[in-house]
Amino acid sequence: MTTSASETVREILAILGHTYPEAHSELNFDTPFHLLVATILSAQCTDQRVNQVTARLFRSYPKPEDLLRLGEDGLEEEIRECGLFRNKAKNILATCRVLIDRYGGEVPATLEELNSLPGVGRKTANVVGSNAFSIPTIAVDTHVLRVSNRLGLAESDNVDKVEAQLREKIPREQWIKAHHWLIWHGRRICQARHPKCEICPLNTHCSYFKA
């Protein structure tokens, strides 16, 4: 008896959920603002490094107005370890100004408003929206892109297309969890260069393993 595509998706999600029941964002944050800044800093940088930087940064500069007082040169020095620090500093400070001028210093709680902030693209808006405000969405980073393509949940190298395909196949109530499951699987087993296919609980569903 042939397994339907929807049954395969359900099976994949069930295995991921069983394998990573505690999956969550690995960026440390106390407030939506902290998560927003951390997510901007995470571009081309590991979460571990970002957590080291933000732990130090937010002890002294926890709010938008604090970062603005720090200034561009000061912020660049604080976040230098994250890479691309000049561009990130400009975007973070520009976002801080918008938050203060338009939102009373608070991070807006809609994807449209988040996406309008300087330096905040669709992925960052989705990460903040889902983790800070529980908005059902799927942020597509390099891990989600790779794993979803290998498992046949998506078929594209374009992040927007992959997001659309995942939203179509995965039940809405599982979008946030599935995002974390896919990331954890990509970091722990389904790595880019040396995936641990021999111990992967999903290798029978994986085109990369079969190839």
Catalytic site positions: 123, 141
CB 129 within 8 A of CB 135: yes
How far is Cα 122 from Cα 67, in angstroms, rounded to an integer? 24
CA-based radius of gyration for the chain: 18
Q: Residue 147 to residues 66, 109, 152, 153: CA-CA distances in angstroms?
A: 39, 29, 9, 8
CB 36 within 8 A of CB 128: yes
How far is Cα 197 from Cα 176, in angstroms, rounded to an integer? 25
DSSP 58: H
User: H-type helices in 152-200, by residue range?
Assistant: 159-169, 175-188
How far is Cα 4 from Cα 142, in angstroms, rounded to an integer? 28
